[in-house]
Structure 1
Amino acid sequence: MGTVIIFALIALLALYGVVRTLRSKNILGFIFGLGAFAVFGWFVVMTILHHGIPTGTH
């Protein structure tokens, strides 16, 4: 469960980075930030959907 929390924080920071790069018109930063947000965010969402909160043993 700790990994999911850390990855969720990384996804939120990547989203913040995407917003900042849009304001400064930094295209490369936008692309990498959006990619990081997509990868880490997808991992967090699918882990929560599959295991639930809190994660239980099967």
Structure 2
Amino acid sequence: MGTVIIFALVALLALYGMFRTLREKNVLGFLFGLATAAVFGWFTIMTILHQGIPTGTH
């Protein structure tokens, strides 16, 4: 279940990068950030829906 946490962190960092590239008016960086946030955000949502929220106990 660590995969969900890693995917979520990557998606959040991609969102941060997207907004940062907007300030710098870097279109290519914004597009790559958007694609990364979309893909990893989708993986995060689907993993949570399919396997549940990680509880930390086994």
TM-score by length of 1: 0.88
User: Shift in Å at residue 50 of structure 1?
Assistant: 1.2
- Name 1:38's counterpart in structure 2: 38
Identical columns (%):
78
Root-mean-square deviation over aligned CA pairs: 1.1
Q: Which runs of 5+ in 1 are unaligned?
A: none
- Name 1:15's counterpart in structure 2: 15
User: Shift in Å at residue 4 of structure 1?
Assistant: 1.1
Number of paired residues? Answer: 55
Q: Which runs of 5+ in 2 are unaligned?
A: none
List structure 1 runs of 4+ shifted beyond 2 angstroms: none
